[in-house]
Amino acid sequence: MSDDSSDDEALRISDDLVPIREQLSPGRLTTTTLDGTLTKQPLKIVEDLTSGCGGQLWPAGIALAKYCIGRFKEKGLRDKHIVELGSGGGVTGLAMALELDGLSEGKGEFWMTDMEAMVPLMKQNVALNGLQDTVKVGLLDW
């Protein structure tokens, strides 16, 4: 007869892998530099879960923003055509637009997309960061 406790222990995930998020009040304004990744100006983002789970800063979105900024910092995004799928409140796309050169002066374009419930929050966060001329927001029901 086998002891299942060793299997349970192997599957246990520690609390420090992904920190437990505090409960958000609707419309909470968060300002962040993503641990110093944003050097030009901090990102301002409204977090609001009333329209869906995409309305908060997710660790995966923060990690993706840091990776993309590190990857494209030297080359910039001039003449690139980018579509972000499932943008939620927009942390990844907005952070890239704030930090990386070339979006507003090139021929490329940057689209943040999500389902209908997230579109107003994305638009609010684009405006909050003054990126209306750089980032386009669109509905993409995938």
Q: pLDDT category, 127, cuts 50, 70, 90?
A: very high
- Domain locations in the chain? 5-139
Instruction: State whether CATH 3.40.630.30 applies to domain 5-139.
Output: no
The model's pTM is 0.81
State the helix-helix crossing angle for 59-72 and 91-99, rounded to 10 degrees: 30
The contacts of residue 120 (CB under 8 Å, 6+ apart) are 51
Please give the residue that has the higher pLDDT: either 19 or 124.
Answer: 124
How far apart are alpha carbons 116 and 113 in whole angstroms? Answer: 9
Handedness of CA 32, 22, 26, 57 (dihedral sign): positive
**Mean pLDDT computed over 67-71:** 94
Summarize pLDDT for 25-65 with one digit per residue, the tens.
778 899 999 999 999 999 999 999 888 888 888 899 999 99
**Per-chain mean pLDDT for the chain:** 86
pLDDT at 19 over 80: no
Beta bridge partners of 111: 83, 136
pLDDT at 2 over 60: no
Pairing verdict, β 81-84 and 43-47 = unpaired
In this structure, what token pair is assigned to residue 48? 């609001």
How far apart are alpha carbons 88 and 69 in whole angstroms? Answer: 19
